[in-house]
């Protein structure tokens, strides 16, 4: 068994999805690493999980027609941005 003198930040959270699986965010922290840097890594990883985004989306019900319209508007916006790049 390999043992090193590093610390880590671990967050246990329940992902909000149909399968109700548990996930764990592990951020390895080196011995002389600044705690602010480790927290920044943690926040970045947590943001990538999309938990907060999903919670906000679940706070209110959106009709499928509204979601479809918003998705279409976003696609048009992205397409215009790409055309302007060229």
pLDDT tens-place string over residues 17-53: 444 456 788 888 888 888 899 899 999 999 998 888 8
Residue 61: inside a domain: no
Residue 32: inside a domain: yes
Domain of 34 in residue numbering reads as: 1-49
Give me the number of domains the chain comprises.
Answer: 1
Residue 57: inside a domain: no
Residue 12: inside a domain: yes
28 within 8 A of 6, measured Cβ to Cβ:
yes
Residue 75: inside a domain: no
> CA 21: distance to chain centroid?
16
53-80 mean pLDDT: 94
Contacts with 22 (C-beta within 8 Å, 6 or more apart), sequence order? 12, 13, 14, 15
Report d(CA 38, CA 46) in Å as an integer. 12
Residue 79: inside a domain: no
pTM of the predicted model as reported, rounded to 2 decimal places:
0.50
Residue 22: inside a domain: yes
């Amino acid at each position: 068994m390999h043992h090193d003198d590093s610390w880590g930040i671990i967050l246990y959270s329940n992902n909000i999805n149909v399968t109700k699986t548990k996930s764990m965010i592990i951020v390895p922290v080196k011995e002389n690493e600044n705690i602010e840097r480790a927290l920044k890594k943690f926040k970045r990883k947590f943001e990538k999980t999309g938990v907060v985004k999903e919670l906000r989306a679940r706070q209110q019900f959106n009709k499928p027609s509204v979601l479809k319209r918003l998705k279409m508007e976003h696609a048009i916006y992205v397409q215009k941005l790409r055309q302007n790049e060229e």
